[in-house]
Amino acid sequence: MSILSHKTRNKMAGFTLIEVMATLLLLGLVTALTVQRFMPADSFSTESAGSLTASLGSIQGAYNAYVNDKNGQPAFGTGNNALGDSSFVPAYLFIPRPPGGFDSEYGSSGFVLGQRSGLATPDNGVYICAKAARVTATSTPFRGILKAAATMSATKFFYNDNCPATTSLVRDPTVATDVYVTSWIVRN
């Protein structure tokens, strides 16, 4: 009788292998669903930040190559055709596609290369502008802009309401507005 009662006691004290596996499977499923729910927006903003940084860098690289080869800068258009100099585009620059959340209708494929002169320093120079349309402070494109800004110098890169403004964006975070990103190539 003592053997039987000992087996019964041990059986009641632990979990069966099936119970343990079912619990682990349930925990794994809940974890996967939680990560999947929160991960896409963050990974999208990181991807957008990387794409924006790479695009700004490729435009600056093409500009520098043009200046070195031609011993002068490309002709600047006005408005949405500012990247349209045929001796600069596409000979030196294959215009990058704007990152997710940015307005592909703005400028030449989403970017404007412009020049400012006749202003007080450091507001003169050559800049790149990109437009993220109708974003709020909590939107994924805006979070991407903030991530890109964190990796670049504040004197080189900033976000604003009116490209090529040189002040940081200050606005009501609950209101969706067009946001412009400016990156200086040269500041005089």
What is residue 71's predicted lDDT score, i.e. its pLDDT? 92
Query: What is this structure's pTM?
Result: 0.71
Q: What is the pLDDT of residues 143-162, one digit of tens each?
A: 888 888 888 887 788 777 67
What are the beta bridge partners of residue 157?
Answer: 183
Residue where the block lists tokens 């990152």: 99
Rounded CA separation 156/145 (Å):
14
Average pLDDT value for the chain: 78
pLDDT digits (tens, 9 = 90+) for 60-94: 999 999 999 999 888 877 665 667 677 888 888 88
pLDDT at residue 22 tops 80: no
The stretch 82-108 carries a mean pLDDT of 82
**Average pLDDT value for residue range 13-42:** 68
pLDDT of residue 66: 92
pLDDT (tens digit per residue) in 160-169 = 767 766 666 5
SS3 37: helix
Q: What is the Cα–Cα distance from 142 to 76, expressed in whole angstroms?
A: 28
Those residues whose C-beta lies under 8 Å from the C-beta of residue 158, and which sit 6 or more positions away, are 149, 166, 167, 168, 169, 181, 182
| Long-range contacts (CB closer than 8 Å, 24 or more residues apart) made by 77-85 | 79/112, 80/106, 80/107, 80/108, 80/112, 81/107, 81/108, 82/107, 82/108, 82/112, 82/113, 82/114, 83/107, 83/108, 83/109, 83/111, 83/112, 83/113, 84/108
Nearest to 135 by CA among 87, 74, 182, 176: 176
Helix (H, G, I), strand (E, B) or coil at 40: helix
Q: Say how far apart CA 64 and CA 182 lie, in whole Å.
A: 17
Does residue 106 carry a pLDDT above 80? Answer: yes
CA atoms within 13 A on the CB side of 163: 30
Task: Tell me which of 181 and 76 has the higher pLDDT.
Answer: 181
Q: Is 128 helix (H, G, I), strand (E, B) or coil?
A: strand
